[in-house]
Amino acid sequence: MADRGLRPKPKSLGFMATPLVQSLIERLILVIFTIWTGLTISFLVTRLSPRNPAEQVLSRIQGAGVFMRPEEIEAMRRTVMGLFGLDKPLWEQYISFLQSVLTFKFGPSLLNFPVPANDIISLYMPWTIFLLLTATIISWIIGVVVGIVMGIWEHKKAVKILEYTFITIFPLPYVVLAIAFLIIFVGILRIYIGVTIVPTFTLSLETLSAMFSRAWLPALSIIVLSIINWAMGSLALARTAKREPHVFYAMVRGIPTNLLLKRYIGKNVLILQVTALALSLGGIFGGALATEYIFNYPGLGTLLYNSIVTNDFNTMLGIITYSILGVTIASFVIDMVYPFIDPRVRYGGGE
Amino acid sequence: MEEVNRMARHLDLKISLAVVIALVMYSVIVPQITPYDPRLWNVVPRDKPPSLQYPFGTTSMGQDVFIVTAWALRNSLVLGTIAAAMLVLIAFTIGSIAGGTKNSIVRAILTYLIDSFCVIPFLPILILIASLWRERLGIIGTASIIALLGWGGQSRNIRSVIMGLRERTFTYTAIFSGYGTLKLIYKSYLPYIVRWLSIAFLFGIIFCIGLETTLSVFGITSLENPTIGTVIFWTREYQAYLRGLWWWYTFPLIFFIVFLASMYVIIRRLVARFIEGER
């Protein structure tokens, strides 16, 4: 660790770029490539599907009892195929998909034909953000504090018991926990958890309270599991911090626990957990598929699930695009801000 | 007193090992000694609470919970193990090349491939693929898809482990004392990496079992062959929570939770012993 500062600086790109600008440009290029690859993989997977969304629109129109002559059906098929861009060869579809990502116009939704997919997404987006933002922030604050406190008094009996409780729940897949919540709250306690409300978002008290009445149980299930996640992470970090010589020296010297908590261990843990928080905040734009599906919450996750099972590829790719953008941009921002938080890290340092 | 102390040392590890072995034996032996195929429906009376004849009760589909749980646990275990093995193999191949190569172009390409697989929203794509080919995906198919899509995170870890090894002092010592690259890898790195990989493999089992359970709860794996996830799916489908059929979900869930927790305790002990160097 100590010799890291002594290593020769990596050779710069030749011209007069400062390390900041240079690493900014390098990272930005990498981010764009990463986003592109993620989008391409997602696009290819949707086109692998043998099902044709245009046929489904047609059969729905015909199912409504509209009588059409065969040539009319043929003309209609061509129009609908054209609307979804499915009549073109694959590479043209791919290019128009990339264009749609740049302009955020993903074409008509199949599930709610002919409303544009983007309108539907923006309708559900506030619900997901409300649920996940509150759940993530609350669980982060509680979890990190609990983890640090556990790390400091790690030999107390109560802490040991708490840790083993956490160990039991931690490896569980989220769905199992969510179903346990449903069993407890709905099956045993018979608590009313609200019905699906058509999500039209206006910034009013009414909407917010409607959101809250739907969101509290799913949020609670996320919070419980995430608190354990954050606490276990912070506990491990606190233990590592305790083993560092300067912290150990401070403990031997007998500094007040308060100071140990704040300056010696708290700081070390917080540095890493702040970045982890930023990463998980970047992850909320994809919606919480499992949560929203199990609790039937009207958000992006439910929309995504419905669009997957009905082959609504435009909506699906739209949500996936937001999700990829959220994650990559968050990690890019962290990389750029990190040297300000942690002076041990430099731009362009290491490999 | 010393005897007691030695017995109490790593008590959680010993208990967990015993639990895991017991559960594996239960899941292997019980399906072997049943007179009928555990996948069949309507072989016993429906909705019977636990009794002497059916120690864990029966389901609404006419299955003995005791046997279904064993079979489901077995399937989940097999799937998790296969998926984890493939996942660790892919992750190790790509991660070790990305971390170890001297060719900067190869390194850049692989690193960015790893990054891309870390950002694709994993669950939606998995659900799409599983829902498209559900009929044809058996246990091995589901396992390979999980492995093919999920290797990103592990690969990133392995890459940084290898990069860390290259920077360690003992590497330089070995090189200066005349070790060749191959000898360096076999003598110095392999013991370390093998420990690391076996821990990654055990973690992978937990991860893959969890994913399969998630997929099954969505109802998009083949539902006739029970895994723990499909058991949960059917209890939801038959409204077992509202109808008070507590034995149907309680026993499989308890076994599942106990198994995962024990696995996790073992992993934590292994990490503490081999990675962090605790005595």
CATH classification at residue B240: 1.10.3720.10
Higher pLDDT, A339 or B66: B66
**CB–CB contact A187 B241 (8 Å):** yes
Contact between B236 and B222 under an 8 Å Cβ cutoff? The reply is: no
Please tell me whether the peptide bond between A114 and the residue prior to it is cis, using omega within 30 degrees of 0.
yes
**Cβ–Cβ contact B11 with A under 8 A:** no
Q: Quick check: B243 pLDDT over 50?
A: yes
Q: What is the pLDDT of residues A170-187, one digit of tens each?
A: 988 888 889 888 888 887
A56-83 mean pLDDT: 75
* Average pLDDT along chain B: 85
Residues in B touching A33 (Cβ below 8 Å) = 112, 116
Q: Of A265, A126, A141, which is closest to residue A204 (Cα–Cα)?
A: A126
Q: How many residues does chain A have?
A: 351
Q: Quick check: B44 pLDDT over 50?
A: yes
Res B244: pLDDT? 80
Contact between A136 and A279 under an 8 Å Cβ cutoff? The reply is: no
Q: Quick check: A7 pLDDT over 80?
A: no
**CB–CB contact B209 A173 (8 Å):** yes
**Cβ–Cβ contact A148 with B under 8 A:** no
Higher pLDDT, B264 or A187: B264
Q: Quick check: A1 pLDDT over 50?
A: no
Res B84: pLDDT? 95
Q: What angle do CA A150, A227, B246 make, to 5 degrees?
A: 115
In b/e form, how buried is each residue of B195-209, taking b as 16+ CB within 10 angstroms? ebbebbbbbbbbbbb
Q: Who's near A209: CB < 8 A, 6+ residues apart?
A: none
Res B16: pLDDT? 92
The answer to whether position B10 is within a domain reads no
Res A3: pLDDT? 41
**CB–CB contact A293 B218 (8 Å):** yes
**Cβ–Cβ contact A193 with B under 8 A:** no
Q: Quick check: B175 pLDDT over 50?
A: yes
Residues in A touching B131 (Cβ below 8 Å) = 308-309
The answer to whether position B19 is within a domain reads no
Minimum-distance CB partner of B260 among A172, A290, A305: A172
**Cβ–Cβ contact B268 with A under 8 A:** yes
Q: What is the pLDDT of residues B158-169, one digit of tens each?
A: 888 888 887 778
Q: Quick check: B180 pLDDT over 60?
A: yes
Q: Quick check: A330 pLDDT over 80?
A: yes
**Could you tell me the pLDDT band of residue B206, with boundaries at 50, 70 and 90?**
very high
Domain segments of chain A: what residues? 19-103, 117-349
Q: What percent of chain A has pLDDT over 90?
A: 12
The answer to whether position B217 is within a domain reads yes
A301-305 mean pLDDT: 89
B194-221 mean pLDDT: 88
A63-75 mean pLDDT: 75
Q: Who's near A219: CB < 8 A, 6+ residues apart?
A: A131, A134, A135, A138
Residues in A touching B265 (Cβ below 8 Å) = 167
The answer to whether position B40 is within a domain reads no
The answer to whether position B259 is within a domain reads yes
Classify A189 as helix, strand or coil: coil
**CB–CB contact A167 B260 (8 Å):** no
Q: A residues 95-124 near B, CB within 8 Å?
A: none
**Cβ–Cβ contact B13 with A under 8 A:** no
Residues in A touching B116 (Cβ below 8 Å) = 33-34, 37-38, 41
Structural domains in chain B (count):
1
Helices and strands (H, E) in chain A, number of each type:
14, 0
**Cβ–Cβ contact A310 with B under 8 A:** no
* Residue span of the structural domain in which B270 resides: 62-275
**Could you tell me the pLDDT band of residue A34, with boundaries at 50, 70 and 90?**
confident
Q: Who's near A158: CB < 8 A, 6+ residues apart?
A: none
Residues in A touching B236 (Cβ below 8 Å) = 179
Q: What is the pLDDT of residues B75-119, one digit of tens each?
A: 999 999 999 999 999 998 898 888 877 788 888 888 888 888 887
**Could you tell me the pLDDT band of residue A144, with boundaries at 50, 70 and 90?**
very high
Structure-token match 């600086």, residue found: A9
Q: What is the CATH number of domain A117-349?
A: 1.10.3720.10
Contacts 24+ apart (CB under 8 A), A239-247: A239/A151, A239/A154, A240/A268, A241/A151, A241/A265, A241/A268, A241/A269, A242/A151, A244/A268
Minimum-distance CB partner of A289 among B124, B213, B236: B124
Q: Of A279, A26, A41, which is closest to residue B116 (Cα–Cα)?
A: A41
Higher pLDDT, A55 or A231: A231
Residues in A touching B12 (Cβ below 8 Å) = 164
Q: Quick check: B50 pLDDT over 70?
A: yes
Higher pLDDT, B190 or B228: B228
Nearest-Cα distance to chain A for B89, in Å, is 21
Q: Quick check: A334 pLDDT over 50?
A: yes
Task: Give the range among A93-102, A198-207, A274-283, B47-56 with minimum mean pLDDT.
Answer: A198-207
**CB–CB contact B163 A327 (8 Å):** no
Nearest-Cα distance to chain B for A204, in Å, is 32
Higher pLDDT, A255 or B197: B197
The answer to whether position B72 is within a domain reads yes
**CB–CB contact A186 B241 (8 Å):** yes
CA distances from B277 to A61, A153, B76, B181 (A): 67, 22, 32, 26
Res A17: pLDDT? 57
Minimum-distance CB partner of B119 among A38, A168, A187: A38
The answer to whether position B198 is within a domain reads yes
What ipTM describes this predicted complex?
A: 0.82
Res A199: pLDDT? 57
Res A347: pLDDT? 60
Res A350: pLDDT? 43
**CB–CB contact B127 A308 (8 Å):** yes
Residues in A touching B211 (Cβ below 8 Å) = 173
Minimum-distance CB partner of A168 among B112, B115, B261: B261
Task: Give the range among A195-204, A271-280, B49-58, B139-148 with minimum mean pLDDT.
Answer: A195-204
Higher pLDDT, A70 or A173: A173
Nearest-Cα distance to chain B for A328, in Å, is 7
The answer to whether position B36 is within a domain reads no
Contact between A167 and A254 under an 8 Å Cβ cutoff? The reply is: no
Res A243: pLDDT? 82
**CB–CB contact B124 A294 (8 Å):** no
Q: Quick check: A13 pLDDT over 60?
A: no
**CB–CB contact A38 B211 (8 Å):** no
Residues in B touching A35 (Cβ below 8 Å) = 119
Interface test with A, best of B13, B94, B128, B160 (most A CBs within 10 A): B128
Q: Quick check: B74 pLDDT over 50?
A: yes
Residues in A touching B209 (Cβ below 8 Å) = 173
Residues in B touching A293 (Cβ below 8 Å) = 218
Q: What is the pLDDT of residues B188-204, one digit of tens each?
A: 788 888 888 898 999 99
Range with top average pLDDT, A214-228, A272-286, B92-106: A214-228
